[in-house]
Structure 1
Amino acid sequence: MKNSKGSLIRPVPLPDSISRPVVTPLSPSVVYASDTPDDLDAQYEGRTSGYTYAREGHPNADVLARRIDLLEGGTGGIVTSSGMSAVTAVMMGLLKAGDHVLGGDQLYGRSLRLMKQDLPRLGIATSLADPTDVAAMEAALRPETRMILVEVVSNPTLRVADIEGLASLCKARGILLAVDNTFTTPRAYRPFDAGADIVIHSVTKLLAGHSDVTLGYACAADPVLQKAIYDFAVTTGLTASPFDCWLAERGLATFNLRFDRAEANAVALADHLATLPGVKRVLYPMRADHPDQARAKALLGARGCNMVSFELEGGRKAANAFTRAADGLAFAPTLGDVGTTLSHPASSSHRALAPAEREALGMSEGFFRVSVGLEEEAPLLEVFTRAVAAARGAA
């Protein structure tokens, strides 16, 4: 900013300094000033770099996006206002009326709603198939199929998609493969390495890790596709908050440590739950009784992630008793927090599905998804022991 005499409203420039901050500064400014119209033209035309209006980009979003790019092996990703806004930017930025998109049949509840209700009314056809079965996915393709959307590990039944098989199928058919990597994160799996075209995250969850931000991320391997995603997000205002981006970047500093600790707790919890009377089944990808264990080991190696799902005997009555007795655990529809959280899909993420639809997907009234946190192992297991016993007594 140019110097001026007198008292003006706008602040004076920051003092010159030979040193620089160790922590990324928070930049809440909505607008950025240029010296001349020629300078502004140069920015918009890509001849120089800079910022104009925060809806189109700001420093904190760009710093966070570049950090996630490095983790995922991508380039030019964009941070958006939520995980679902990232999914929406991908879909609406790349699809048009007359296209068909095929989704995994156990996507996150709001992704399922987008597929079943919102895209069809805009002229985009959708259908669902089992992502663990490439033949079933191939059978569901149509001549107008433009994209397949799957999660590496499904929410909340923890089925493991055949990402490598789907990548080969998409390449052979000229179809885009979009992969939601929220559960697995690049600590466990990098979809671009397997041939995915697009990677999506709810940064809100494990990457940020403290339940205090709401953000998403989307990155396409092809810069032309990425520009289309960016243009839709900017046009429709799917803007990420600078403060949320700043917090999420801070969260990433401990991401590896948090992931490893939570994963170790998840292994212990899954094995412990399997021993408790009143628990009908336990789902964890690395367990021998998981239907996709072989694929999980092939894709993820030793990484089982921090999510555990299980089913209680006794239905909703047992579920209510369980959450009442689970002292110190948050019953809340989220995941990836430093503390363990409990989610009941029938009353939260998948409540929009009819009971018969939930049952067909394996989500009964006694079904819970656990996002395992960073607690000490022994007291964590004790809480579940007491809560399951209370549920059994109420059933």
Structure 2
Amino acid sequence: MTFDGFETLAIHAGQEADAQTGAVVVPIHQTSTYAQDSVARPRGGYEYSRTANPTRVALEECLAALESGTRGLAFASGMAAEDTLLRTVAKPGDHVIIPGDAYGGTFRLFSQVMQRWGVSWDAVPQTDPDAVRRAVRPETIAVWTESPTNPLLNVTDIEALAGVAHEAGALLVVDNTFASPYLQQPLRLGADVVVHSTTKYLGGHSDVVGGAAVVADAELAERLAFHQNTMGAIPGPFDAWLTLRGVKTLGVRMDRHCRNAERVATELSRHPGVERVYYPGLAEHPQHTVAKRQMRAFGGMVAFRPSGGEEAALRVCDRTRVFTLGESLGGVESLIEHPGRMTHASAAGSPLEVPADLVRLSVGIESADDLVADLAQALGK
């Protein structure tokens, strides 16, 4: 019998009971090498753990199932996944279109690493597919998008953007970290590759760093696997095991993240000390209709701008007690940060610079009443 329910796949895909012991949890295969029956004849198909490790393979198979992809590949971090993918699909002289409000680490990779390697890029507001179409060049090999974006939570129409990319003979790469495969499956909407920081919602407990890429096309997947092995930016077996453990509860965690975030966003939108709230679940969000069409729910990330400018934003970040001041996102605990001085500092002075008074929230799974009360006291009202 074949099962395709998301929660069932998260618990069972790639995770059959251990054949030798019957263990229902995938073992941590903490080994670097494997015994071979004779020269160049690995006993179980494994020869060296940079190339493949059973714990990592279980994670990769699970991620491929959750994203409806041909193959999943795990990496040491989200940035390692991005870098390895770009080295696979791009060469000097190529061009990539990135979001006008890309994550700071992605912007840094393009502006300070790929550009020096001879890959050019343009940052374009991707909520307008026609603007992306106008930015396409003959040498454009990929449109790179985030949806929702980090940190302004813009939502791109993935299906429309896939059409633009494919008209140009380019790939569409979607960073699905904020939504997670539970809320959104870009490959089903026409994307070619999905990338994740598995550190975030997939791991879900702020205790492991990792990344992943899930690919629709088998030939591209083989090329990426070659680079994964050759470049070697892979997670260790314990990291893969921790991520796989987190994936099992992704569905139930995301349900709570989304409910709490919607409550927080609604309360902030009513607060006299808040000038603007960014959350796709609010009816006034400019891409609310697109988000409603392509997402199961609206995610656990909220951003807002308090009255009083940057000093007020910094003050709010310093005053919260339930929300922990810290970078990253997607864990069970709520986090607050100032993107301009923290996660997006690398974009300062560029066209991608974020508003100085912006506050970003990763809304956890604590009591929603406590989260709302904490923000109210931090805002001083």
Give the alignment's TM-score, normalised by structure 1: 0.89
Q: Which residue of 2 aligns with 1:195?
A: 190
Q: Which runs of 5+ in 1 are unaligned?
A: 1-15, 44-48, 391-395
d(CA) in 2 for partners of 1:203, 1:346:
23
Alignment of structure 1 residues 195-234 onto 2, 5 Å: 195-234=190-229
Aligned partners of 2:323, 2:303: CA distance in 1, in Å? Answer: 15
8 A contact 1:344–1:368 mirrored in 2: yes
Aligned to 1:13: none
- Matched residue SS, 1:324: helix
The one-letter amino acid of 1:74's match is G
Displacement of 1:264 after TM fit? 0.1
- Pair 1:65 & 2:60 matched: yes
Query: Does the 8 Å CA contact 2:317/2:337 hold for their aligned counterparts?
Result: no
Structure 1 residue ranges, 4+ long, deviating more than 3 angstroms after superposition: 16-19, 355-359
Equivalent position to 1:372, from 346, 355, 363: 363
Q: Indicate the SS of the match to 2:340.
A: helix
Amino acid corresponding to residue 381 of structure 1 in structure 2: V
Please say if residues 326 and 383 of structure 1, whose CA atoms lie closer than 8 Å, have aligned partners that are also in contact.
Answer: yes
CA contact (8 A) 2:276 2:304 kept: yes
User: Structure 2: how far apart are the matches of 1:356 and 1:19?
Assistant: 56
Name the residue aligned to 1:37.
Answer: 39
User: What is aligned with 1:304?
Assistant: 298
Match of 1:142? 137
The one-letter code of the counterpart of 2:319 is: A
SS of match in other structure, 1:274: helix
Kindly indicate whether the alpha-carbon contact (under 8 Å) linking 1:51 and 1:57 is maintained by their aligned counterparts in 2: yes
**Paired position in structure 2 for 1:315:** 309
Separation in structure 2 between the aligned mates of residue 207 and residue 170 of structure 1, nearest angstrom: 27
1:173 to 160, 165, 168: 168
Distance 1:358 1:226, change over 3 A: closer
Amino acid of the structure 1 residue aligned with 2:262 = V
Q: Which residue pairs with 2:375 in the alignment?
A: 384
CA contact (8 A) 1:78 1:217 kept: yes
Alignment correspondent of 2:158: 163
Q: Please say if 1:116 is aligned against 2:108.
A: no
One of 80, 85, 92 as aligned partner of 2:80: 85
Structure-1 residue corresponding to 2:23: 21
Q: 1:307 Cα deviation (Å)?
A: 0.7
- Name the structure 1 match of 2:341: 347
CA RMSD of aligned residues (A): 1.7
**Match in the other structure for 1:51:** 46
Residue identity matched to 2:245? R
Q: Does 2:324 align with 1:336? A: no
C-alpha contact (below 8 Å) 2:98/2:144 kept by paired residues? yes
Contact 2:28–2:55 (8 Å) recurs in 1 = yes
Cα distance between partner residues in 2 of 1:107 and 1:226? 25
1:268-310 Cα offsets, whole Å, 9 max, x none, are 0000011212211001102122111121112225x11111110
- Counterparts of 1:17 and 1:371, CA distance in 2: 40
Give the Cα–Cα distance (whole angstroms) in 1 for the partners of residues 248 and 172 of structure 2: 29
- Secondary structure at the aligned position of 2:270 is classed as coil
**CA distance in 1: counterparts of 2:72 and 2:19, whole angstroms:** 31
For 2:36 and 2:208, locate their aligned partners in 1 and report how far apart those are by CA, in whole Å. Answer: 31
Contact 1:148 1:176 in 2 (8 A): yes
Structure 1 residues 355 and 316 mapped into 2: Cα distance closer, same or farther (>3 Å)? farther
CA distance in 1, matches of 2:329, 2:96: 27
SS state of the match for residue 51, structure 1?
coil
Q: Deviations over 1:33-85 (max 9, x none)?
A: 21211414xx9xxxxx6111111121111101111111110122110000111
Contact 1:89 1:230 in 2 (8 A): no
TM-score, normalisation: structure 2: 0.92
Residue 18 of structure 1, CA deviation = 6.6
Q: Quote the residue 1:292 is aligned against.
A: 287
Counterpart of 2:10 in structure 1 is none
Q: Secondary structure at the match of 1:338?
A: coil
Asked which structure has the greater CA Rg, the reply is 1
> What CA deviation, in whole Å up to 9, does each residue of 1:299-353 have, x standing for no partner?
225x111111101122332223212220122111111010111121111121122
Question: How many pairs align?
Answer: 364
* Amino acid aligned to 2:360: R
**Does the residue aligned with 2:286 lie in a helix, a strand or coil?**
coil
Counterpart of 1:309, as a letter, is A
**How far apart in 1 are the matches of 2:181 and 2:19?**
37
| Distance in 1 separating the partners of 2:185 and 2:201 | 15
Q: In structure 1, what residue type is equivalent to 2:278?
A: L
CA distance in 1, matches of 2:159, 2:307: 36
| Cα shift at 1:358 | 5.2
Contact 1:28 1:243 in 2 (8 A): yes
- Note if contact 2:140-2:168 (Cα within 8 Å) is conserved in structure 1: no
